[in-house]
Structure 1
Amino acid sequence: MDEQDLRFLTLDWFLYDLSEESSETIASKEFPPGNLLDSLDGYIRHEKIQDSQMVQIDCSGNKSEEVKSLQELADIQKTILKKTSLGKLGSSWLVWGQLMPENQSPVSLAQEICKQLKFEKTSPNWQVDLFAEGPLLGATLYELWSPPQGQGEGESYHLLICLFDSHWRKEALQKRVGYLLKHCQHLFLYRHKVVWAFQQSRRLRESLQQPSRLVPQVTNQSLARLEQSTVNLTELQDHLRQSLNVLAVYATQLNYLQEQRYTIEINLENYRQRVLKLAALSAEDSPNPLGEKAGEWQGQGSSLLFDKFSQFAQDKYLRQIERDYTSLSPGLLLVENSIKAVESLNQIEQTRSDRRLNTTLTIASVGVATSAVVATVIVATPPPNRHPIEFQFTTTLGSLVIGGVMSIAVWCCLTWRRK
């Protein structure tokens, strides 16, 4: 028996995707549910959790072996990774096993486990990636995490190592493993939703750079339009349309940014509630060490262990999004105010244009009506001693002259009234 042997050594891989209408994701199609090959001890399980789809792949290697060397872990992982579809939301790895009766060092075993595993584009680095450690359900748990950088591209992974104490019997161990898997599948989901929402916010922050650079241009052009003594109504309306387009894009992206903040807040709250449930369960199910209140140290330890991510997301993710929103939202107000000013100017110019058109129509109508009335009256009573052609010419000319005079009179009257 080697000091690097573990009883019931098992590797679980949890993949998460946003659920589609068909309830099938790329991962669920590539990994159909059911038991693994006859020679392997393990299974594939699907579960829909809220708006997400989870695929869990559990593998313990050869069925005939209860005690396994840590060196077998690499082969177990290769068996799982024959297909390398990663969940869109993210994926987490869980390694668990039971210490042998000999005095084994959990931390040394956990470090050796890290050496055996390899993830896409990266391998665990104990010194750099150890994120949290503590007691949980009668076991020692180590959490390693390499967060995604930038907009989510690059090397990242999430790994939990859970080493149960040697004194647990098989039935009690199975009970605790059941608790662990049940709660971790939810904790992992909420965690990945938080990280995914933050990566989405980085993409939105990048996409807001272009419209934010247009804000000074839009406001300066609006001020220039307001200061012009003469305004071209067509150009003004074109500028208004362009400003509205900038406003629509800017407001939509800012709204999406705010949605990512709400997504993080909701899932962090769900995460905290699940941590409290697991902490209470760990406290109830743990032995009484050194006369302390039964399980109290285990419950507090597991709560602090998982709360580290909650505090990290609160301090880094939420605050970053809040700072981004605070710095970008004034630009939206500037565009809105400039659009309101241009709209007011446009309405004034439109009113002036309509008034000029109405005046022209009024003057023309008066002139036409006057000339028509005069012509009608003259034609209705033609003098008997006039030549018809001469009379018609004189009548037409006279009606036009009188209509023109009346139009000028109306124009003078309207101009005087405006003064």
Structure 2
Amino acid sequence: MAHLIYPHLCLFSYVLRDETQDSDERESFQKDLIAGTVYRYGRGDTEQYLITSAIEKQESQSLDNLKLLKEIVLAKTGSCDRELGRSWLVFGVLPEGEDPQNIVRSSCEILGIENLSDSADQWQGAKIFECGLENQHGIVALYSSLDEMKAIAGEALQEWLYLLQFRHKVNWAYGNTRQIKPLLSQHLFPKPSSIMSLTMQDVEVSELDLQNLTQDLKQNLTLLSQYTECLSFLEFQLETVKTNLENYRSRLSSMSAKGSHSFQKLSQFEQIGSRDVRQIERDIATLTIGLRVREKTTDTIRGLVELEQAERDRRLEAQSQKFQDSIAVLGVGVGSVAITASFAAAKLEDASIVQSVVKVVPAPMRVSPWTEGAIGVLMCSAIGILFAVLIRVWLFFGKGRKSR
């Protein structure tokens, strides 16, 4: 097993938070020869956790001790579904004659990180190795002397704290886009069969089923709202990636200036982040096209529903008006008959009174009451029909003038 002088194990963890006020907390712990500190920094929308641990023996030690340090560090952390990501940092003094690659390989094996480091950057007297991908990520910093490590360790931890935060925010935001894209792509484009059925419809909208059309309209409006919101979410994540990638680039440049060396390995993340930006931009462009197709389909269905509804309303209005006209004609006819009948009944009553009083009229000249009643009924019916016909003609010509 490889050895390292005065090995330290640190964990950087980043969690989303709702508070906006900055906060700083510090807690030290001690267990046998292992000493450590838990730092908690609240910055903006992110909670930064830095947990450091070391065996207080400033001598060469087996890297097997990292297993114990890892166990203690993990005991100080909790599970959180809002964690953006975490990175490990192993640093110490490289013993004389020790192969740096053996230290990197052993450290990655203990921490469960894939060892992808084949070369090292130089920064402030230390060889810097970057290992792993995304959240399974680690850095090994090997100093040439103990005094040099003590002089720079505190400042270096602060630099790593912010640099790694920007890195994890880029990966976190890009990961969000990968989760939501399949959901967007699933039903974004309408089925070709549904598009053809709408575009090939005859103008005879009245034959369409209004109920089915209304249901289709509701479904399309729901999908349209969901995809518009998701597309806005993608655009927000794109801006998050861009902002934190620029912050990463700026912080790395500042660190390079302090150490008078450029980071060849760590700067490769800038290329990965730029690739992520281009991918999200392509996704947004593709999904925007699908959204426009969905919008046009929704507008078409809405137009068909409105046409069919207007046609049905027109038919109902015509039927209602026809019924009202019939009632009006019937009412006039019945009223006319009633008035005429009342008048005729009064006349018949007067005639019967006269005949009962005046007896000088010869019997053959008299008209029987039944005949007079029949004549009255015929006259009432004729007058009622005449008034009904006149009202019907008046309504017909009156509507004709309104329609013109």
Q: Same fold (TM over 0.5)?
A: yes
Superposed CA deviations along residues 197-220 of structure 1, whole A, max 9, x for unmatched, are 222111112212431364435424
Cα distance in structure 2, aligned partners of 1:362 and 1:335: 40
Unaligned runs of 5+ residues in structure 1 are 24-30, 148-155, 283-294
- Give the counterpart letter for 2:217 in structure 1: L
Which of 94, 108, 112 aligns to 2:89? It is: 94
Cα distance in structure 1, aligned partners of 2:102 and 2:242: 37
Aligned partners of 2:127 and 2:143 also within 8 Å: yes
Aligned equivalent of 1:162: 141
Cα distance in structure 2, aligned partners of 1:196 and 1:11: 24
Aligned partners of 1:132 and 1:308 also within 8 Å: no
> How many equivalent pairs are there?
371
Cα distance in structure 2, aligned partners of 1:257 and 1:50: 21
Quick one: structure 1 residues 99 and 324, their matched pair in 2 at CA, closer, same or farther if it must change by over 3 Å? same
Aligned equivalent of 1:196: 172
Output aligned runs, 1:39-54, within 5 Å.
39-54=33-48
Output aligned runs, 1:378-389, within 5 Å.
379=338, 382-383=342-343, 384-385=346-347
Which of 108, 125, 129 aligns to 1:138? It is: 125
Shift of 1:141: 0.4
Q: Secondary structure at the match of 2:64?
A: helix
- Give the counterpart letter for 1:16 in structure 2: Y
Shift of 1:268: 1.0
Cα distance in structure 2, aligned partners of 1:7 and 1:185: 23
- Give the counterpart letter for 1:311 in structure 2: Q
Superposed CA deviations along residues 52-84 of structure 1, whole A, max 9, x for unmatched, are 2222221112x2445433332233223323477
Aligned equivalent of 1:345: 304
Superposed CA deviations along residues 282-316 of structure 1, whole A, max 9, x for unmatched, are 2xxxxxxxxxxxx3xx1xx13x443210111211x
Q: Select the structure of larger CA radius of gyration.
A: 2
Quick one: structure 1 residues 113 and 394, their matched pair in 2 at CA, closer, same or farther if it must change by over 3 Å? farther
Cα distance in structure 2, aligned partners of 1:403 and 1:314: 86
Residue 362, structure 1, aligned to residue 338, structure 2 = no
Aligned partners of 2:330 and 2:388 also within 8 Å: yes
Shift of 1:95: 0.6
Aligned partners of 2:87 and 2:164 also within 8 Å: yes
Residue 11, structure 1, aligned to residue 9, structure 2 = yes
Which of 149, 159, 183 aligns to 1:183? It is: 159
Cα distance in structure 2, aligned partners of 1:394 and 1:279: 117
Aligned equivalent of 1:263: 240
Aligned equivalent of 2:279: 320
Aligned partners of 1:375 and 1:395 also within 8 Å: no
Cα distance in structure 2, aligned partners of 1:95 and 1:309: 20
Cα distance in structure 2, aligned partners of 1:281 and 1:400: 110
Cα distance in structure 1, aligned partners of 2:378 and 2:137: 101
- Give the counterpart letter for 1:75 in structure 2: L
Aligned equivalent of 1:306: 266
Q: Secondary structure at the match of 1:159?
A: strand
Q: Secondary structure at the match of 2:90?
A: strand
Aligned equivalent of 2:149: 173
Cα distance in structure 2, aligned partners of 1:343 and 1:392: 59
Cα distance in structure 2, aligned partners of 1:346 and 1:375: 43
Residue 334, structure 1, aligned to residue 293, structure 2 = yes
Aligned partners of 2:27 and 2:39 also within 8 Å: yes
Cα distance in structure 2, aligned partners of 1:206 and 1:195: 18
Aligned partners of 2:185 and 2:287 also within 8 Å: no
- Give the counterpart letter for 2:250 in structure 1: Q
Q: Secondary structure at the match of 1:130?
A: coil
Quick one: structure 1 residues 399 and 65, their matched pair in 2 at CA, closer, same or farther if it must change by over 3 Å? farther
Shift of 1:11: 0.5
Residue 124, structure 1, aligned to residue 114, structure 2 = yes
Cα distance in structure 2, aligned partners of 1:78 and 1:191: 25
Aligned partners of 2:40 and 2:50 also within 8 Å: yes
Aligned equivalent of 1:233: 210
Quick one: structure 1 residues 65 and 397, their matched pair in 2 at CA, closer, same or farther if it must change by over 3 Å? farther
Shift of 1:366: 3.5
Aligned equivalent of 2:73: 80
Superposed CA deviations along residues 109-160 of structure 1, whole A, max 9, x for unmatched, are 3334334x232xxx433xxx2287311122110101234xxxxxxxx61010
Unaligned runs of 5+ residues in structure 2 are 350-372
Cα distance in structure 2, aligned partners of 1:133 and 1:11: 19
Shift of 1:399: 5.3
Quick one: structure 1 residues 234 and 71, their matched pair in 2 at CA, closer, same or farther if it must change by over 3 Å? closer
Aligned equivalent of 1:285: none
Which of 89, 92, 107 aligns to 1:113? It is: 107
- Give the counterpart letter for 1:164 in structure 2: Y
Shift of 1:16: 1.8
Shift of 1:51: 0.9
Aligned partners of 1:187 and 1:271 also within 8 Å: yes
Aligned equivalent of 1:216: 192
Shift of 1:416: 9.6
Shift of 1:347: 2.0
Shift of 1:260: 2.1
Shift of 1:262: 1.9
TM-score (norm 1): 0.75
Cα distance in structure 2, aligned partners of 1:407 and 1:355: 21
- Give the counterpart letter for 1:241 in structure 2: K
Quick one: structure 1 residues 114 and 341, their matched pair in 2 at CA, closer, same or farther if it must change by over 3 Å? closer
